Structure 1
Amino acid sequence: MLLHKRQEVLLIIALKEELPRNLLPEFNIEYCGVGKINATYKALEIISKYEPKLIINFGTAGSLRKNLFGLHEVSHFFQRDMDARALGFKIGVTPFEERSVIDFGRTGLSCSSGDNFVSSPPELKTDLVDMEAYAIAKVCVLKNIQFMCFKYVSDNADESASKNWKANASLGATAFKDMIKNLDLQTMLGLREKEQHEN
């Protein structure tokens, strides 16, 4: 059963090319632009405006594993360009914060986000790389909002990444459309509300 367009479920997408609004008119789709700052700003803006219960991020990602193709759920998020090793912190760890990885406890892939388009293997090893997911995930954790993330592999984060991304950026939209229409979002939201009430 489809959800009608409503505020409790919002989709954040970086670019219109990745998911045009007319492909899923029954959902509220917001575009954040590229990069962590843009993603953070948009997430905070729509949380303040709509007070959603669930935010879903969809977009393209580069794969650091050669056998990964298609659409995947992401459940572990890292910030690959946080580098305070000169202060004694491991790469990806924000100084003086307890949490270095955002983990939503579901089975899914790992993804590192950074303000750089990856065309060679980064030092922080994950399954996927993108430029926004960590930022949105962290905002959702801090605001106590349920978060889901799905990434379509557009390239292998190598020397051909730029060319492959341009060719494949729009291909994941149909796969995501088919997947999200089969998600039982109503049940998910109900379970979330029950857990919060019990706690």
Structure 2
Amino acid sequence: MIKITGEHHFAIDRTLFVFALDSEAGKVFNEKNKLVTGIGKVNAAMELTQEIQRNRPELIVNLGSAGSRSFGKGEVVCCTKFIQRDMDVRGLGFEKYETPLSGIPPVLEYGLLKEGLPQGICGTGDSFEMNHAETDYNIVDMEAYPLALIAMKKNIPFLCLKYISDDAGSEAAEDWAVQVHLASEAFNKILF
């Protein structure tokens, strides 16, 4: 069983663990229901949708690396708010981050809180940020937003935990390459 809060427990065999890269999962998740989507919003959306059609889970857990200037390297942060950071249609009169005509607010709020972890707002986009300066979100990744959106639309409980691998600054690429391999052990300690 995975204990999220005192009232939320889920069977491990009915939980889908979603990663962008196998290196984020390590060997810890080899015997679990693991989905590796590939990098980016389109890959994440496509792979999760197909997996739900094949085998609908009781819980979707997105685990992955992320950059942040607000949280330290090696911290695991729980996200329940998501922004599509590369959606900008203000020129047509929409709010920054709003997907036009979707009915979804610019900040998508969906997901379970994991007790004992700090909370963050995840800005998802199809770019690796190395000069992060945005204040509307304090974590940057490349897959969480569509995963949260799909889970919400399919009415499946969702947990998003991000391992902070870098500060989304000028050294982000080098830091990520070193830190990403430590993510699975951090997730293992928190979840099992």
**Shorter-chain TM-score range:** 0.7 to 0.9
Structure 1: any 5+ residue segments left out of the alignment? 182-199
Residue of structure 2 in register with 1:114 after alignment: 125
2:85 maps to 1:80: yes
Residues 153-182 of structure 1: per-residue CA shift (max 9 Å, x gap): 00000111111111111112111011111x
Normalising by the residue count of structure 1, what TM-score does the alignment of the two structures yield?
Answer: 0.83
Letter in 1 for 2:125: G
Structure 2 counterparts to residues 28-177 of structure 1, below 5 A: 28-65=33-70, 67=72, 69-99=74-104, 100-104=106-110, 106-107=112-113, 108-123=119-134, 125-177=136-188
Task: Give the secondary structure class of the aligned counterpart of 1:78.
Answer: strand
Report runs of 4+ in structure 1 exceeding 3 Å deviation. Answer: 1-5, 66-69
* Paired positions, count: 179
Closer/same/farther in 2, CA of residues 164 and 75 from structure 1, 3 Å limit: same
Cα displacement (A) at 1:90? 2.0
> Which protein is bigger by CA-based radius of gyration?
1
Distance 1:164 1:26 in 2: 28
Letter in 2 for 1:29: K
Closer/same/farther in 2, CA of residues 139 and 129 from structure 1, 3 Å limit: same
Distance 1:35 1:114 in 2: 7
Letter in 1 for 2:59: L
2:11 maps to 1:9: no
Cα displacement (A) at 1:5? 6.0
Cα displacement (A) at 1:122? 4.9
Bigger proportion of residues as helix = 1
Structure 2: any 5+ residue segments left out of the alignment? 3-9, 114-118
Greater shift, 124-133 or 36-45, is seen at 124-133
Residues 20-48 of structure 1: per-residue CA shift (max 9 Å, x gap): 2x313442111000000000011101100
